[in-house]
Structure 1
Amino acid sequence: MANFNFRFERVLNYKKTIEDYKKSQYGVAQKKLIAEEDKLNEINQIITNVKDEKNISTEETSVGNLVMYNNYINDLSKKLNLQKQIVENIRKDAEKAKEEMINAVKEKKIFEKLKEQEYKKHIYHLQKNEEKHIDSIISYKTSTQ
């Protein structure tokens, strides 16, 4: 029985390596996105807490302290806007990494399907050769009798 050799085995192995790499890149991008979204939520929470604290202590606070609260809230709002931009950029990067991963998976599957089809052809040819061999044995036996 002849061994099956897929002519694109190296390409398939390369595609598998690329797929694994793209999956890991996507995982890193997702982790980074989650971390930056957590920072965004933290800044939102700080702004909410500072506003609540300012509203509670408005009657007891001097004008200077209120100005300081407002400046702090404005600084936090700037940080919030910057963090939103960072999150959006990282989200785009994560989407790009996801698309690259999906393309790598598709390319690998194409070669896996091709390998499967060639293997089926190989098995078919082996069966045909075996049938020919059996037929020749049978015809030899019938001709010698």
Structure 2
Amino acid sequence: MAGFRFRLQKLLNLKQQLEDKAKNELGLAMKAHELEKRKLALLDAGIVRISDDFRQACSGTIRPERIQAIRTWLEVQKTAREQQLDAVKKSGENVDKVRVKLVAAMQEKKILANLRDKEFEKFLKQEAHNEQKLTDELVSYRESVKITAVGMEGQ
């Protein structure tokens, strides 16, 4: 009985490697996206804190220089937030792009894996057929030997 050998095994192995690489890229992209979202959350928390400081500065004793400094810092933080929103959007788009790449790699690998499975099933059927044929020949041979032996005893 010869062993099963898939003729496209090297290509299947390559597709598996590409899938694994895409999975790693997706993990890194998702990690980077989460980092950008955390940075945005920190900026949002800072803006809330600065806004509270601004409200406090505007109530009670009014010090115009302090109010102006807080207002300027608040504007800087809002600009940084807008930039961070863009960074979050870009990292999210990157995650989507890498995810599409991963899905394509998974589909290509799945096609080859299904082909391998079909060829293996065909191989098993052929082997079973060959074994049955061999068994039939052996039984036929034994029967012919018995008949010949019985025929020779009668002479």
Is TM > 0.5 for Structure 1 vs Structure 2?
yes
- Counterpart residue identity of residue 40, structure 2: L
For 1:94, the equivalent position in structure 2 comes to 95
Structure 1 position 141, deviation (Å)? 1.9
Deviates more, 1:65-74 or 1:44-53: 65-74
What RMSD in Å do the two structures reach over aligned CA positions? 0.9
Question: How many pairs align?
Answer: 145
Structure 1 position 124, deviation (Å)? 0.4
For 2:151, the equivalent position in structure 1 comes to none
Please identify runs of 4+ aligned residues in structure 1 that moved more than 3 A.
none
Structure 1 position 61, deviation (Å)? 3.5
Structure 1 position 57, deviation (Å)? 2.7
| Secondary structure of the structure 2 residue equivalent to 1:6 | coil
Cα distance between partner residues in 2 of 1:14 and 1:30? 24
2:36 counterpart of 1:30: no
Radius of gyration: which is bigger?
A: 2
Structure 1 position 91, deviation (Å)? 0.3
Structure 1 position 114, deviation (Å)? 0.9
Cα distance between partner residues in 1 of 2:54 and 2:61? 10
| Secondary structure of the structure 1 residue equivalent to 2:61 | coil
Deviates more, 1:103-112 or 1:13-22: 103-112
For 1:130, the equivalent position in structure 2 comes to 131
Matches within 5 A, 1:1-145: 1-58=1-58, 59-144=60-145, 145=147
Deviates more, 1:79-88 or 1:64-73: 64-73
Cα distance between partner residues in 1 of 2:62 and 2:112? 71
Structure 1 position 88, deviation (Å)? 0.2
> Deviations 1:4-49 (Å, cap 9, x if unpaired)?
0000000010001000000000000000000000000000000000
TM normalised by structure 1 equals 0.96
Cα distance between partner residues in 1 of 2:141 and 2:108? 50
Cα distance between partner residues in 2 of 1:39 and 1:124? 60
Cα distance between partner residues in 1 of 2:61 and 2:110? 69
Identity %: 26
Cα distance between partner residues in 2 of 1:75 and 1:67? 12
Cα distance between partner residues in 2 of 1:82 and 1:110? 42
Segments of structure 1 that go 5 or more residues without pairing to the other structure are: none
Structure 1 position 53, deviation (Å)? 1.3
Higher RCO structure (Cα 8 Å, ≥6 apart): 1
> Deviations 1:78-134 (Å, cap 9, x if unpaired)?
000000001101100001111111111111111111111111100100000011111
Cα distance between partner residues in 2 of 1:87 and 1:60? 40
